Amino acid sequence: MINQIINKQHQEIKQIIRELREDIYEESEVSANSLWIALKIGTLNGIMQMHLKYEDDYLYPALLNDKENEKLSDIVSKFVEEMGDLAQVFKDYQQKYLRHPEDIKQNTKEFVNDTKQILDAIAVRVDCEEEELFKTIM
C-alpha cells in the first residue's frame, strides 16, 4: 500500500517536472505562461509537501532505526545527508515565486535558472529513491 502511494506520488512529480521543463524551455514564452507555470509550481508544492513530510518524518527515520538491515540504513543515511534540505530549498523557491509571481515575468532568466536547479534536484532525489532505496526495500 505504502509503495503504491509513494510510486503514485513519484509519477505525479515526474509528470509535473516534465511539464515545467517544457514551459521554461523557451525563455521568451515564460512571461506569457507565467500564470500556468505558477499553478504547476503550486501543484508540485502540494505533492512535494505530502511526499517529503512522509519520507522525512516517518519513512526515513523508521528505516534508519532498522537494526537488522545495515545496507538499508546506510542508504537512508546517505540520502538524509545528501538531500536532507531539499524540502527547505523547495519551500524557499516556491515562496519566492508564488508570493511574488511578478518575479517570474520581471526576472525571467533568474526564474528559469532557479527552476532548472530545483527540478534537477527533485528529479535526482526521486531517481535515487527508486534506483537505490526502493529496490532494496522491495
CB proximity list for 38: less than 8 A, separation 6 or greater:
97, 98, 101, 104
Rounded to an integer, what distance in angstroms lies between the CA atom of residue 16 and that of residue 18?
A: 5
Instruction: In whole angstroms, give the CA distance from residue 104 to residue 87.
Output: 21
Domain definitions of the chain by residue range:
2-137
* Residues 2-137, CATH architecture: Up-down Bundle (1.20)
Other C-beta atoms closer than 10 Å to the C-beta of 125 total: 21
Q: How far is CA 98 from CA 47, 82, 93, 115, in A?
A: 16, 26, 8, 12
Rounded average pLDDT over 129-134: 83
pLDDT confidence bin for 84, thresholds 50/70/90: low
pLDDT in tens, 97-131: 888 878 888 889 999 999 999 999 999 989 988 88
Of 49-53, 78-82, 107-111, highest mean pLDDT: 107-111
pLDDT of residue 11: 95
- Check residue 40 and give its pLDDT: 93
As a whole number, the mean pLDDT across the chain is 86
Gap between the Cα atoms of 27 and 8, Å rounded? 30
Closest CA to 115 of 9, 50, 47, 18: 18
Read off the pTM.
0.85
Closest CA to 90 of 41, 38, 56, 22: 41
